[in-house]
Amino acid sequence: MNFTDFNVDEFFGLNDDTSLFMMLIWILPVVIFIFYGQRIQLQITGAEIKKSIKKLDTFKTQSRIQLLDYIQHNCNPKTESTQSIDQMLDYFSIPPVDLDPNGIIPKIKHVIRLREDYTRNNIKSIMPDISDEQLNKIQTLLEITTSLKMIYKIINHLFLTAKKQNNYPLILPLQMMLPFIMEEATASYKAIAAFKADQPIGDSIGPIVVGKMMLNTSKTEIAFQTVMSRVDYDDRRLILLKARGPSSNVGRIADALHEIIKDTKLDAIIMVDAALKYEGEDSADISQGFGAAIGGVGTERFDIEQIATDQGIPIFAVIVKQSVVEAITLMTRDIAQKADQTRDRVYELLQNNTKPGNTVLVIGVGNTIGVPQ
């Protein structure tokens, strides 16, 4: 090959009929994308994210309006409640420092309980005549509205930070996570209607199973907003435990367990709960396993596991699989139809894994909205 007769004009096509204008048509965009490509991508991605932020803003505003409307029309507030509710929407909790995590669980529990108790007291001071059920409902609606507000603030902050610094890579994590965040935010917003109407949600499957077992038995309140009853099944002594319904609350299962073990020797614990399914799994599938099936930040689970380990009590879990959306919105038909099957699975577990004469604690874990006992 001969490289000595290299001709620049021929190489760039300047000798033939190609005009300078046509050359600019294709070379100019290439140059623009090389120098300004990231900014253009930032603009396009930013426009998509802005749409989602606008939706989050709507959720935040509408949930606040629905909460204030509910309070005005149903709770007969003593004083003007809007300012107090807006203050409560801005409450924050500072988690304990975790540089030395030893002993952190009681600190987290203390901060969470503090927030719950003081919010409850503040609501009661605005509306002294409301019932416990309505108080729990307002607390739940307040939590939903607060979390929607927080989601909006965080996403908006990340977006504006990336835009301010014209930093495209900074917006990429937000773009990747946004579909998951929007799914949860949409589900939370839809959950408001179910909570206002006292309709059971997907997470209520545990209380439904145990609540049905508790019908026509005598109940006692063993811990704050947590009820217990004793029944016999197939020569086993069952202690049934769930949050007190039909108000919206999850009870204090760990505190109840502390009380029960003071005078009762447990041979097994069975926990019935909703659990998140993987993509591709069918909703409402029932599964069985080992360990404490309880959600939340982990303080209750820590206590239950500690007691079970100290006393050598086996813990069995029966879960009903569902998506995040199904867990916090009105219960679907598939999940509702599985309540009896789940109860039968619990009985099967009792027969296969315990002996006659054993004392077994059966816990219905979850939000007990719309589920009495």
Question: Are β-strands 236-243 and 359-364 bridged in parallel, bridged antiparallel, or unpaired?
Answer: parallel
Q: Which is nearer to another protein, 84 or 332 (CB)?
A: 332
Instruction: Single out the residue of 252, 256, 244 nearest to residue 372, CA to CA.
Output: 244
- Kindly indicate which of the ranges 23-31, 80-88, 163-171, 323-331 contains the residues binding another protein, using the contact rule CB under 8 A: 323-331
Taking the complex as a whole, the smallest distance from the CB of residue 224 to another protein amounts, in Å, to 22
Nearer to another protein, 140 or 299 (CB): 140
Of residues 190 through 209, those in contact with another protein by CB under 8 A are: 190, 194, 197-200, 208
Q: What's the token pair of residue 87?
A: 């203050």
Choose among 306, 301, 299: nearest CA to 365: 301
- CA dist., res. 210 & res. 339, Å (int): 9
CA nearest neighbour of 167 among 13, 33, 342, 41: 41
Residue 158: strand pairing partners: none
Q: Which of 329, 342, 354, 367 binds another protein (CB under 8 A)?
A: 329
Q: How far is the CB of 93 from another protein (least distance, A)?
A: 32
Strand partners, 238: 231, 360
Contact between 116 and another protein (CB under 8 A)? no
Q: Which is nearer to another protein, 194 or 360 (CB)?
A: 194
Residue recorded with tokens 């659990």: 275
In whole angstroms, how close is the CB of 40 to another protein at the nearest point?
A: 24
- The region of 111-119, 289-297, 305-313, 334-342 touching another protein under the rule CB under 8 A is 334-342
Segment 94 to 113, residues that bind another protein, using CB under 8 A: none
- Contact range with another protein by CB under 8 A, out of 57-65, 114-122, 289-297, 333-341: 333-341
Q: Is 187 among the residues that bind another protein (CB under 8 A)?
A: no
Is there binding between residue 330 and another protein (CB under 8 A)?
yes
Residues 6+ apart with CB under 8 A from 316: 268, 269, 270, 271, 288, 289, 290, 349, 353
Work out the end-to-end distance of the chain between its first and last CA atoms, rounded to an integer number of angstroms.
91
CA-based nearest residue to 67, from 143, 151, 119: 143
Look at the block and give the residue holding tokens 């926990």: 271
Q: Does 333 bind another protein (CB under 8 A)?
A: yes
| Residue span 207-246 as binding mask against another protein, x where in contact by CB under 8 A, dash where not | -x--xx--x------------------------------x
* Nearest Cα to Cα of residue 341 among 295, 277, 272: 272
Q: How far is the CB of 242 from another protein (least distance, A)?
A: 12
What gap in Å lies between CA 360 and CA 323, rounded to an integer? 30
Q: Which is nearer to another protein, 146 or 248 (CB)?
A: 248
Question: Under the rule (CB under 8 A), what is the footprint of another protein?
Answer: 190, 194, 197-200, 208, 211-212, 215, 246, 329-333, 335-337, 339, 370-372
